[in-house]
């Protein structure tokens, strides 16, 4: 359940990045930049989530790493899809 909540939080964060990109710029390239900026921010958040899972929750790294990859890739792939659609 925690994994789905974190992925959902990433999708909401991507939406916020796109919303602010729309408010501050408004055009396709600005929204594409907002999605591109989201990816490294989400990488840091996913790594912090993995660190907390290993250090605080006590999960071994080999168990936490595949989950962290999924948590990272789902919102990042959605951001990639947004970037691709805006490039058309």
pLDDT value of position 28: 73
The rounded distance, in Å, linking the Cα atoms of 72 and 85 is 20
Domain layout of the chain by residue ranges: 2-87
pLDDT value of position 31: 84
pLDDT value of position 29: 77
The rounded distance, in Å, linking the Cα atoms of 68 and 62 is 10
User: What one-character DSSP code corresponds to residue 56?
Assistant: T
pLDDT value of position 88: 72
* pLDDT tens by residue, the chain, 88 residues: 899 999 999 999 999 999 998 898 777 777 889 999 999 999 999 999 999 999 999 999 999 999 999 999 999 999 999 999 988 7
pLDDT value of position 40: 97
């Amino acid at each position: 359940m925690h994994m789905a909540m974190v992925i959902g939080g990433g999708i909401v964060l991507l939406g916020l990045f796109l919303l602010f990109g729309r408010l501050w710029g408004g055009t396709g390239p600005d929204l594409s930049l907002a999605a591109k900026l989201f990816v490294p921010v989400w990488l840091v958040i996913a790594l912090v989530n993995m660190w907390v899972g290993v250090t605080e929750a006590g999960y071994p790294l080999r168990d936490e790493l595949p989950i962290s990859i999924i948590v990272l890739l789902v919102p990042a792939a959605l951001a990639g899809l947004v970037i691709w659609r805006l490039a058309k």
